[in-house]
Chain A
């Protein structure tokens, strides 16, 4: 099967040790995680993981179901790039004298829409958000200045679909909870 680049979104309860359980599913099938971002979601108590990996669809579909099988995982989904809006962030630290020498500030701001976060005598920190290619292109452009440090985040993403699958799931589970309480009364 053809290998593609997938973005996996996992929603879980905020309990200790779930990250391990999620990554174990990848380890077992020796699928390399390209990037991983974990943070609170907009729903109280629910954490969201955004994981990217290259594999075939059959594998990713099975893995997502095996992730969902973990008790504290609420839901997991997988997407191709055209189904989501996604972003990464990168920081570049460059010697300030080189920045002056190369006169790149205007280019960085106009062409890349990047921001200057800090500038002092010693160094300048530039922030770039965008897709992988844009971040890499800026890296190449800045390379002649002698990059001191470079760091990038994993991908974060939002679905294009108008159906909010997690909210639907939570509503469904809330109905089940109420029903179960009724039946024990």
Chain B
């Protein structure tokens, strides 16, 4: 049955077909017809007005990361479209499904430098999975259906629909058909049976196998399949940054996090294992360090759904193409039950070394200043099992990754590949809407929060129970750390004079508290947790604190720095 409606109304109906419930948006001239249609759909959709278009995209990312569903964004043309670019690039690198609608000038004026016209397709193509300009209303249902299919299926990613004013207002006969197939796109490549058999043989023969678990496991909803795989062959596993919270912290085979600021044991063991099984990860340079020495004693098996990731960063012995939801259980069936008790126990030596040289110092520092680690650990200890931590970028992110005990579940959200400062606060907005029954902690630094601090307004307007934790060291901490270690302590443009964050929150009617003394920390965190509604806790932390361990960029993992004495 078709019915004559305009494009804006058709967009609303298409969203309903795709089970959209939440939209992050910001209106403007060339998208008014769509917002007008939204006005009649207030029961169907929560439309969240952010304070900046960048905030809208990051909020949609936060929403997508905790729900696994595409985040939906509606903004106008020109400056709004350019403001979403950072979030698109972030979502592209971190495989986050988004459908972003940008308004666009009228068709007759395209290409004439008309008011608020930008070449949205031209500038979004390199940072999206797909982008398409809709010039006629009758193309809208097809394009929207395709957009959701592309955003969701296979390796997820961001999609942009550039919606001209004409297409929003034209009347046409609406009919909606979900996209189920695109001739030029294979979201779920068929696994090669020979590869699966060979993978199982390699793992069955391994004396010292180790797995690296990436976000692909979460994106493929293959958590259960992962546990069965690891448990049958008794394989110790470590997470990448975005793989955190797939395995619970106390999961017996969870050996921690790999990467630049990851745990010592899994990083060192990468060099000692004989078979490295990488599952749904992309061998970021932040994970591998020097690729020539990475996993030098191992045959690497790489499970991934994206053919362009295989042999891209690291030459692997066996690439296994396919959705891990299918490939993992297929290999598990061929595995012989095994025990690697001694090998797993051998991780302990490094763990004890890290406990002694890094973690003890972080959690029980000699100096009077509070550390970031103490703060995050305190939140982790006091928060509920379902708590979600949304981190910003820099030291706060690495400390959150190291000291927040997340999972199993989608409980750790951070900007991985792009490393976008300012991600945290708006992403927490989206996380709060996507996971309304979970506690949401937005852990950021004094630098990052100020990049998108206007989203406190969004938190206020919708009374989102986000607990904002500002780890304030009056520095851009991670850059300062590099300057201290590698640039002769020349602190160029990293010292920051800050506002009173608690007062700033108060002006948004958000309760808050500042903590400067260790004795107050535990009670202040409890007060934040007990508070109903949004809250901002500013913690004055050690100004020149460091995040250890650290593998200097591009260096072999063996050059890991454990603390100040080694530099």
A68 to B307, CA, bound (A): 9
Q: Are B129 and A74 in contact (CB under 8 A)?
A: no
| Complex contact A21–B180 (CB within 8 A) | no
CA of A16 to CA of B282, assembled, Å: 30
Contact status A71-B184, CB under 8 Å: yes
Spot the interface stretch: B24-32, B119-127, B195-203, B269-277: B119-127
Partner of B184, one of A13, A20, A28: A13
**Is B180 a contact partner of A184 (Cβ separation < 8 A)?**
yes
A71 to chain B, nearest CB (A): 5
Majority secondary structure of chain A interface residues (helix, strand, loop or mixed): helix
B150 interface residue, CB < 8 Å from A? yes
Contacts of A12 in B (CB 8 A): 184
Contact assessment for B186 and A173 in the assembled complex, using a CB-CB cutoff below 8 Å: yes
Q: For chains A and B in complex, what number of residue pairs have CB atoms within 8 angstroms?
A: 55
CA distance A181 to B129 in the complex (A): 24
Considering the complex, give the chain B residue whose CB is closest to the CB of A45: B183
A178, closest chain B residue (CB): B181
Interface assignment of B130: CB less than 8 Å from any CB of chain A? yes
Max count, chain A CB within 10 A of own CB: residue among B122, B133, B182, B183: B183
Structural contact, B183 and A177, CB atoms closer than 8 A:
yes
Q: How large is the interface on A (under 10, 10 to 19, 20 to 34, 35 or more residues)?
A: 20 to 34
Cα–Cα, bound, A62→B315 (Å): 12
Q: Chain B's nearest CB lies how many Å from the CB of A48?
A: 13
Q: Does B231 contact A (CB under 8 A)?
A: no
Per-position contact with A for B288-307: 1 when CB-CB < 8 Å, else 0? 00000000000000000011
Contact A24 B180 (CB under 8 A): no
A20 to B133, CA, bound (A): 15
Q: Could you say which of B121, B181, B184 has the most chain A C-beta atoms within 10 Å of its C-beta?
A: B184
> Which chain A residue shows the least CB distance to B146?
A71
- B308 at interface (Cβ–Cβ under 8 A)? yes
Residue contacts A-B, CB under 8 angstroms, 18 given: A12-B184, A13-B184, A17-B121, A17-B122, A20-B122, A61-B311, A62-B308, A65-B307, A65-B312, A69-B306, A71-B129, A71-B130, A71-B185, A73-B184, A180-B180, A181-B180, A181-B181, A184-B180
8 A-B pairs besides A173-B183, A176-B186 with CB distance below 8 A are A17-B121, A21-B126, A28-B126, A65-B312, A74-B184, A180-B181, A181-B180, A184-B180
B positions within 8 Å CB-CB of A: 121-122, 125-126, 129-131, 133, 150, 180-186, 306-308, 310-312
